[in-house]
């Protein structure tokens, strides 16, 4: 067992785990029956699925003998931006009232995204 | 050595098939999705799946330039998701 063989096996394992997470997330996106519930599944595609695929790419470049760390950049960017876009989509769901309206906040009269004086 | 390489090739094919199936399933959600948020979410998932396809294709062909492409696609996907959500929330993108 050389280092290259171990890295190749690790890359293959990461690819399988990543594709499993992608499939689970997308099936969840298709099968759940509530907009807020549907929001839950595809975030796994963004973090675990793509994270594992990028880890596989890292290990494959290590196995070829020319290590690169570009993938960490994409991983960090995705880990930072995935919660932000998920939060925006949740705000769209509350704003369009396509989910159960959450209980009123304690200090203000209503949620800021529902506070539309013009309409 | 050869068995590890063979396993890696099979895992690459499986990952490509899984990502393509994910692309098709999220496109189904994009078509049937009853609310606007579902459509935005399906588009976001499709961008992330395309990112995964680019990464796996980069491993498959051993070309380094795919990682710059993946980074660009990640940035464009995030900005377009936020712009779509912002348009629904405020009726405008840049106020």
List, for residues A23-52, the tens digit of each pLDDT value: 999 999 888 888 888 888 888 888 889 999
A16 reaches B (C-beta below 8 A): yes
pTM above 0.95, yes or no: no
Least confident of A114-118, B20-24, B89-93: A114-118
Return the higher-pLDDT residue of A7 and B90: A7
* Residue where the block lists tokens 């912002």: B86
Residues of A in contact with B81 (CB under 8 A): 85, 88-89
Domains of chain B: 3-90 (1.10.287)
**Residue A54 CB contacts under 8 Å (≥ 6 apart), including other chains:** A71, A72, A74, A75, B55
Return the higher-pLDDT residue of B10 and A100: B10
pLDDT (tens digit per residue) in B26-68 = 999 999 878 888 999 999 999 999 999 999 999 888 888 888 8
pLDDT band at B24 (very low <50, low <70, confident <90, very high): very high
The shortest CB-CB distance from A35 to any of B17, B35, B82 is to: B35
The shortest CB-CB distance from B85 to any of A27, A42, A91 is to: A91
- Indicate if ipTM > 0.90: no
- The minimum CA-CA distance between B50 and chain A, rounded to whole Å, is 10
């Amino acid at each position: 067992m050389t280092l290259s063989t171990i890295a190749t096996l690790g890359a293959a394992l990461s690819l399988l785990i990543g594709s499993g997470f992608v499939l689970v997330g997308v099936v969840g996106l298709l099968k759940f029956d509530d907009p807020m519930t549907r929001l839950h599944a595809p975030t796994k595609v963004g973090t675990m699925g793509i994270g594992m695929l990028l880890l596989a790419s890292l290990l494959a470049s290590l196995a070829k003998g020319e290590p690169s760390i570009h993938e960490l950049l994409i991983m960090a960017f995705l880990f930072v931006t995935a919660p932000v876009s998920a939060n925006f989509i949740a705000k769209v769901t509350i704003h369009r009232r396509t989910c159960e309206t959450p209980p009123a906040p304690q200090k203000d009269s209503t949620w800021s995204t529902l506070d539309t004086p013009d309409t | 050595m050869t068995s590890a390489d063979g396993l890696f090739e099979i895992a690459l094919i499986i990952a490509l098939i899984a990502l393509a199936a994910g692309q098709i399933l999220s496109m189904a959600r994009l078509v049937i999705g009853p609310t606007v948020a579902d459509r935005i979410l399906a588009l976001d998932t499709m961008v992330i799946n395309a990112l995964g396809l680019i990464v796996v294709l980069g491993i498959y062909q051993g070309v380094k330039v795919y990682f710059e492409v993946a980074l660009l696609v990640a940035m464009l996907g995030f900005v377009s998701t936020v712009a779509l959500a912002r348009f629904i929330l405020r009726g405008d993108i840049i106020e």
